[in-house]
Structure 1
Amino acid sequence: MIGQHPHDREDSRDGQGSRDWDVVVVGSVNADLVVGVERRPVPGETVLGSDLATHPGGKGANQAVAAARLGGRVGIVGRVGDDGHGGFLRAALAADGVDLAHLTTTEGAPSGVALITLGPDGDNSIIVSPGANARLGPDDIAAAGDMIAGASVVSFQLEVPMPAVEAAARAAAGAGGRVVLNLSPPAPVPEGLLALCDPLVVNEHEAAYLLGGGGGGGDGGPEEPEEMAAALVRSGPRSVVVTLGAEGVVVAGGEGTASIPSPKAEAVDTTGAGDAFTAALCLRLARGDSLREAARYATRVGAAAVRKRGAQSSYPTADELPPA
């Protein structure tokens, strides 16, 4: 069942003036190497693709940039390599005003890289080589303690090692911050970490993973998104958001369960759209929105992000969002 959180939800919403950062992201920083294909190869097959395009990415960096572009005060805790990609990634984050005081350059290690194939329908397949991201550890979290303690919301994903995520989540919760975990890529999560999440953000596949393979696996687990969200709340998190792509999201927590539709959008490239959603969710929670209000705003941001190619290059400013 749901564990005791170190702070009451309503009391945790510090206003903009009481914290140094709206959102601090603890996570990955990658170079996205993207090739467009007419169809994905089957095993043993070679297909021709488009020219290689290199974009700044990584789930952590994506969320930091998306929140900053929406007007948030944002910091990042992570690692890049001492290669050419590292300088490129630093410059991209700095251009959007992300605080890089705790983005460490790792000597002798390559920066993280994501190999992305982009189909004509806008969907993608991704392989991630973590590189320097895999070196992020509890010592980095301790060094960034002031930044983490100064954030209204601290956001995490699982492209960096779990010990770093656990240490940072405990530090954030202990300082009265709100912990948001995006379970991507899916991995086993310690019960104590789940109890700190407010919310846990998952897609349908990640929700099924946490619920033991439910969601159509024929094992009797919940299959409907609303049932998945409610079951996940019972497993420990304070609240849950299940993302459904173009179908919107389901939120569940102390106020019950609700479905929130997504605005209509013609998908050009879905790369990083989930990160844009999570970033917007975190920012609006930091500014005092309820979970439902924040999720409704975040669906607008996610829908806007699929209309352009690339991850960070597709993220809108607040002025660029279509009307609600």
Structure 2
Amino acid sequence: MRAFSFSQSKHWHPSSQIAPNSRLIKSCSRNFNPNPAQFILIISRKQNPLPSLSVNSAKTNPSANDPTTPPLVVVGSANADIYVEIDRLPKEGETISAKSGQTLAGGKGANQAVCGSKLSYPTYFVGQVGEDANGKLITEALQGGGVILDHLKNVSGAPTGHAVVMLQSNGQNSIIIVGGANMSCWPENLSDEDLEIVKNAGIVLLQREIPDSVNIQVAKAARSAGIPVILDAGGMDAPLPPELLSFVDILSPNESELSRLTGMPTETFEQISEAVGKCYEMGVKQVLLKLGDKGSALFEEGKEPIKQPIISAPKVLDTTGAGDTFTAAFAVAFVEGKSKKDCLKFAAAAASLGVQVKGAIPSMPDRQSVLKLLQTIQ
């Protein structure tokens, strides 16, 4: 048994180096709005090697309080999740009664942002909410999770996005999304301020609950600065634009999303591998696959896939947001320089903790809990 820690001997700057005899006049802290004129940087598309990491247990991550740490930047959706707890899904034309109902903050982007922050990594959220009660609910939840909200916008032309989450007694769910401000009122061109925080990130997370045109702008800006981009394939059920895929470093679908995107079956691992091969043909070189109770796997073109079994939870209460927890935790471990195998294990531990709590944002685990769980695994 070994103890896990994500403390670093140095910080990984995947795309930038500080110029000799210069310094960052200001950096990405919780009260900082980046200005390109405030940086003296040499930008390189070539990523630096990953640093070595210590393996001593730590309650907190030193990088969380280091203003020079390049942040996790999540660009995506924020929803008010309307939960209804039911014994089973209604049949066509049938009306059933819910055992309970409540509204909680969620949305794939907001979920991932809170997860990153609760894992003690500085995290920005770029997104939109309406000027309504649901927008206030989400803003307060993001603030409570420690997310930096300098780039969260309130828009008057659309209500806050929301989702109806039908939660069954076994913890499984079915979800219907109404896009609202997530899909409307975005500017044709993102502001220089929004793109600048992307270019100075350590890693960028995207999902498909906002327009593809926004994701393309963000991914293109990140690629221009050498910043890795993970695209969570969850969201709209539509083909992925080739232009977007060309700027993505890691595509992260679940089994059903992989099947829809490739038009191929994904019932066996052999079929999954063939479908991932189709992703390679589409331009993606790495696929981070979420397999539910069968665990996860990271595929990289030309290499054997790395498999990670699930870390069993004593009881599964709610799987809503589990995939977001997994993806965000993987991103945090990745930007901190962990091996890909350990990134998968860290993400699996975070997801295991998340399914034991009802609600998406409320279920996001803190770093200490994840490390404590990892210490129990041989």
TM beyond 0.5: yes
**Preserved contact between residue 181 and residue 201 of structure 1 (Cα < 8 Å):** yes
Cα distance in 1 for residues equivalent to 2:124 and 2:249: 20
1:92 maps to what in 2?
141
Counterpart among 297, 301, 305 of residue 250 in structure 1: 297
1:174 maps to what in 2?
224
Following TM superposition, by how much is the alpha carbon of 1:133 offset from its aligned partner in structure 2, in angstroms? 0.7
1:75 maps to what in 2?
124
With over 3 angstroms needed to count, the CA separation of the structure-2 counterparts of 1:143 and 1:305, relative to structure 1, is same
Q: Give runs of aligned pairs for residues 289-300 of structure 1, distance below 5 A.
A: 289-300=338-349
Q: What is the letter of the counterpart of residue 196 of structure 1?
A: F
Q: What is the letter of the counterpart of residue 285 of structure 1?
A: F
1:101 maps to what in 2?
150
Cα distance in 2 for residues equivalent to 1:9 and 1:47: 54
**Preserved contact between residue 124 and residue 147 of structure 2 (Cα < 8 Å):** yes
Q: What is the letter of the counterpart of residue 263 of structure 1?
A: I
Q: Which runs of 5+ in 2 are unaligned?
A: 1-43, 54-62
**Preserved contact between residue 226 and residue 259 of structure 1 (Cα < 8 Å):** no
Counterpart among 304, 312, 316 of residue 264 in structure 1: 312
Q: Give runs of aligned pairs for residues 154-303 of structure 1, distance below 5 A.
A: 154-185=204-235, 186-215=237-266, 224-254=271-301, 255-265=303-313, 266-303=315-352
Following TM superposition, by how much is the alpha carbon of 1:194 offset from its aligned partner in structure 2, in angstroms? 1.5
1:197-235, Cα deviation, whole Å (9 max, x unpaired): 22110111111122124336xxxx985333433442343
2:103 maps to what in 1?
54
**Preserved contact between residue 271 and residue 306 of structure 1 (Cα < 8 Å):** yes
User: TM-score under structure 2 normalisation?
Assistant: 0.78
Cα distance in 2 for residues equivalent to 1:215 and 1:38: 28
Following TM superposition, by how much is the alpha carbon of 1:10 offset from its aligned partner in structure 2, in angstroms? 4.9
With over 3 angstroms needed to count, the CA separation of the structure-2 counterparts of 1:134 and 1:19, relative to structure 1, is farther
1:156-215, Cα deviation, whole Å (9 max, x unpaired): 000000000000010111112110000112421222321322211011111112212433
With over 3 angstroms needed to count, the CA separation of the structure-2 counterparts of 1:9 and 1:252, relative to structure 1, is farther
**Preserved contact between residue 196 and residue 238 of structure 1 (Cα < 8 Å):** no
With over 3 angstroms needed to count, the CA separation of the structure-2 counterparts of 1:9 and 1:229, relative to structure 1, is farther
**Preserved contact between residue 212 and residue 244 of structure 2 (Cα < 8 Å):** no
Q: What is the letter of the counterpart of residue 191 of structure 1?
A: P
1:126-153, Cα deviation, whole Å (9 max, x unpaired): 0111111112344335440221112111
Cα distance in 1 for residues equivalent to 2:68 and 2:252: 23
2:92 paired with 1:43 = yes
Cα distance in 1 for residues equivalent to 2:188 and 2:352: 35
Secondary structure at 1:109 match in 2: coil
Larger mean CA deviation between 44-53 and 184-193 belongs to: 184-193
- Aligned-residue sequence identity (percent) comes to 33
Q: What is the letter of the counterpart of residue 31 of structure 1?
A: A
Following TM superposition, by how much is the alpha carbon of 1:260 offset from its aligned partner in structure 2, in angstroms? 1.1
Following TM superposition, by how much is the alpha carbon of 1:19 offset from its aligned partner in structure 2, in angstroms? 5.5
Higher Rg: 2
1:274-302, Cα deviation, whole Å (9 max, x unpaired): 00001101111111123332122101111
Cα distance in 1 for residues equivalent to 2:323 and 2:175: 14
Following TM superposition, by how much is the alpha carbon of 1:46 offset from its aligned partner in structure 2, in angstroms? 0.3
State the number of aligned residues: 314
Cα distance in 2 for residues equivalent to 1:276 and 1:96: 13
CA RMSD of aligned residues (A): 2.2
Cα distance in 1 for residues equivalent to 2:91 and 2:68: 50
Cα distance in 1 for residues equivalent to 2:255 and 2:68: 33
**Preserved contact between residue 12 and residue 176 of structure 1 (Cα < 8 Å):** no
**Preserved contact between residue 74 and residue 125 of structure 2 (Cα < 8 Å):** yes
**Preserved contact between residue 250 and residue 257 of structure 1 (Cα < 8 Å):** yes
With over 3 angstroms needed to count, the CA separation of the structure-2 counterparts of 1:130 and 1:48, relative to structure 1, is same
Secondary structure at 2:89 match in 1: coil
**Preserved contact between residue 34 and residue 54 of structure 1 (Cα < 8 Å):** yes
Q: What is the letter of the counterpart of residue 183 of structure 2?
A: A
Cα distance in 2 for residues equivalent to 1:138 and 1:262: 41
**Preserved contact between residue 141 and residue 164 of structure 1 (Cα < 8 Å):** no
Larger mean CA deviation between 276-285 and 142-151 belongs to: 142-151
2:28 maps to what in 1?
none
**Preserved contact between residue 130 and residue 154 of structure 2 (Cα < 8 Å):** yes
**Preserved contact between residue 264 and residue 275 of structure 2 (Cα < 8 Å):** no
Larger mean CA deviation between 55-64 and 87-96 belongs to: 87-96
